[in-house]
């Protein structure tokens, strides 16, 4: 009986310093095992082994996800870089009047449908909320149009009364202009606005995304701004070809600008999402590797400890018989 107590005490003494404090779960699992069977001969390493197996599986999954994101990224990055040429002429012509003060603001928050991609969705949502605060005021109205499930989930919590439209499943097929144009058309037809503010993550590199706001004015707002002067005032120096009046041309232009800018925004965000997923998955597989190293170490130490205990028992038993 005393022997058993000694053994248990000895084991506890051997076990506890070998496990680093940061690794609480394994420690707890082992000590609960210790209390499980009274006077068991050897320590069960089953729990640690199972955990090692699951960590290894998780690492495999995250590695695979990283590879998938990397291969998808290449195609999307290409089309994103090509699509930048689509909105640049518009900005050259109409400027980006982000400080414009209008009554009905609609914020288009571009997010992704899937998670596990770092902080890009929360960045989009945070910037959208900041823009909403910035544009709100007496007699003003701010509404949200949300692209993607993740943004919807976050914005429903505190501003669900301001949501006008939600759109998801955009990325089932590879993104193309026709799709985004049909979507832009739906937004124009369903939402009343003076200014649209598109919030998205602009892709710089695989690890760098810039939260960006693009502003698109309604035709009436463009005309008002044009009269006020500034960049838009220079529109009068252009000669309009064909039979259309200026307001018609402006309406066409602003509609087309919206679909083009939205197309670029959706692509940039998809690109940022894949880049963010790549780096997130990279760091999580590295973390899994570190965890696995720590687990292996503690597993081996425990094994060694139980062998040592058994040896001591045998030797002391033998010497007791001799002496």
Partner 1 sequence: MASAAAGSTAAVPFWRAAGMTYITYSNICASLLRSCLKEPYKSEAASREKVHFAISKWANGKPEKPSKTLSHSFFASFIVSCRAGL
- Site for partner 1, rule CB under 8 A: 160-161, 163-170, 172-173, 176-179, 181-186, 188-190, 242-246, 248, 251-252, 255-256, 258-259
CA angle 53, 57, 62 (to 5 degrees): 150
Closest among 276, 282, 279 to 112, alpha carbons compared: 276
State in angstroms the smallest separation of the CB of 157 from partner 1.
11
Do the bridges between strand 208-217 and strand 195-205 make them parallel or antiparallel, or are there none, so unpaired?
antiparallel
Q: Are 203 and 273 in contact (CB under 8 A)?
A: no
Q: Which is nearer to partner 1, 74 or 172 (CB)?
A: 172
Q: Which is nearer to partner 1, 186 or 293 (CB)?
A: 186
State in angstroms the smallest separation of the CB of 242 from partner 1.
6
Distance CA 192, CA 203 (A): 30
State in angstroms the smallest separation of the CB of 144 from partner 1.
9
State in angstroms the smallest separation of the CB of 239 from partner 1.
11
Distance CA 259, CA 183 (A): 8
- Other beta carbons less than 10 A from residue 149's beta carbon: 18
Q: Which is nearer to partner 1, 113 or 282 (CB)?
A: 113
Q: Which is nearer to partner 1, 271 or 288 (CB)?
A: 271
Interacting residues of 261 by C-beta distance below 8 A, sequence separation 6+: 87, 90, 198, 214, 216
State in angstroms the smallest separation of the CB of 155 from partner 1.
11
Provide the token pair at 112. Answer: 């992704």
Q: Which is nearer to partner 1, 19 or 87 (CB)?
A: 87
């Amino acid at each position: 009986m005393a022997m058993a107590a000694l053994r248990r005490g000895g084991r506890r003494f051997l076990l506890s310093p070998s496990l680093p404090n940061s690794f609480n779960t394994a420690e707890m699992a082992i000590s609960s095992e210790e209390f499980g069977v009274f006077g068991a001969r050897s320590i069960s390493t089953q729990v640690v082994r199972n955990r090692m197996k699951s960590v290894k599986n998780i690492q495999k999954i995250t590695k695979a996800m990283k590879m998938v994101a990397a291969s998808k990224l290449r195609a999307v990055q290409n089309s994103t870089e090509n699509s930048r040429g689509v909105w640049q002429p518009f900005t050259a012509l109409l400027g980006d009047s982000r400080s414009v003060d209008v009554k009905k603001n609609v914020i288009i928050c571009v997010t992704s449908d899937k998670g596990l991609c770092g902080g890009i969705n929360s960045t989009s949502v945070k910037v959208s909320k900041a823009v909403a605060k910035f544009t709100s005021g007496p007699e003003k109205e701010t509404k949200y149009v949300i692209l993607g499930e993740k943004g919807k989930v976050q914005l429903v919590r505190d501003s669900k009364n301001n949501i006008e439209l939600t759109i998801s499943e955009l990325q089932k097929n590879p993104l193309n202009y026709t799709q985004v144009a049909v979507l832009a058309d739906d937004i124009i037809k369903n939402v009343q606005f003076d200014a649209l503010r598109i919030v998205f993550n602009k892709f710089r590199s695989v690890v760098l995304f810039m939260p960006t706001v693009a502003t698109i004015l309604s035709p009436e707002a463009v005309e008002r701004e044009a009269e006020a002067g500034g960049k838009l005032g220079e529109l009068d120096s252009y000669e309009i070809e064909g039979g259309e009046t200026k307001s018609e041309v402006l309406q066409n232009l602003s509609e087309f600008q919206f679909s083009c800018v939205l197309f670029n925004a959706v692509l940039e965000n998809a690109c940022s999402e894949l880049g963010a997923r790549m780096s997130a998955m990279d760091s999580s597989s590295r973390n899994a590797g570190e965890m696995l190293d720590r687990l292996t170490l503690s597993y081996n130490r425990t094994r060694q400890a139980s062998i040592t205990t058994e040896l001591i028992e045998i030797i002391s038993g033998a010497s007791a018989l001799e002496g």
